[in-house]
Amino acid sequence: MGKKKIIKKFEQLTPELLKLIKETYPDGYEENLIVFQTPNGELSSALPLETEDVSYLIRMPKGAAPDDDDDVESNSSENDFENFEDLEIAEDTADDE
């Protein structure tokens, strides 16, 4: 039998799981977040977390990833994509080898 798979909300994590997140992702977890669309069409994010017995998917709060440490910095803000009409479409480019 495989590992148990559990989905938990970030706000409901135990201190032990919070500690495990800090140990598993010492440099921050923002690059490891999975973004998905909920059945009602909203975008949501979650963090995968593995233990010996359980595979967790930690659902993050809406808006931004929580930062309970002062040393975690966010490079984006909620207003980064307010004005889509100001965005330009770049031409496709190929990587040079």
The pTM of the full predicted model, rounded to 2 decimals, is 0.60
- CA angle centred on 53, ends 52 and 58, rounded to 5°: 95
Does residue 52 lie in a domain region?
no
- What pLDDT was estimated at residue 91? 52
Residue 13 located in a structural domain: yes
SS3 9: strand
What is the per-residue pLDDT across 21-74, written as a single tens digit (0 to 9) for each? 999 999 999 899 999 888 888 889 999 999 999 999 999 987 644 444 433 333
Domain coverage including residue 14: 1-27
Report the chain's terminal Cα–Cα distance, integer Å. Answer: 45
Residue 36 lies in a domain: no
Domain count for the chain: 1
Residue 54 belongs to a domain: no
**Confidence label for 79 from pLDDT (cuts 50, 70 and 90):** very low
- Radius of gyration over every alpha carbon of the chain, rounded to an integer in angstroms: 17
